Amino acid sequence: MANNEKLNMRYCARVLVEAVTPLKIGTGETVLNIDELVATDANGLPVIPGTALAGVLRHAIPDA
């Protein structure tokens, strides 16, 4: 695949990730007296955005 081609396929997956070391995914926003807000879903549970997972996978998987 040429570097300028984009994949048109999208997938949806629900995965369970267990961190073996402390993990903090922030929202990128700050509030007075709070260092950084933690990204959460509609139920208030912490989430890892897909963009964060994509970045980890890009780093971990070498180019073919």
Q: How far apart are CA 57 and CA 51, in angstroms?
A: 10
The predicted-structure confidence for 9-32, as pLDDT tens digits, reads as follows 777 777 787 888 887 777 777 666
Mean pLDDT of 50-64: 80
The predicted pLDDT at position 43 comes to 92
Q: List the chain domain ranges.
A: 1-64
What is the rounded average pLDDT for all residues in the chain? Answer: 76
Mean pLDDT of 44-55: 84
The predicted pLDDT at position 6 comes to 67
User: Which one-letter amino acid corresponds to residue 42?
Assistant: A
Q: How far apart are CA 18 and CA 2, in angstroms?
A: 35
- The pLDDT > 90 percentage for the chain reads 2
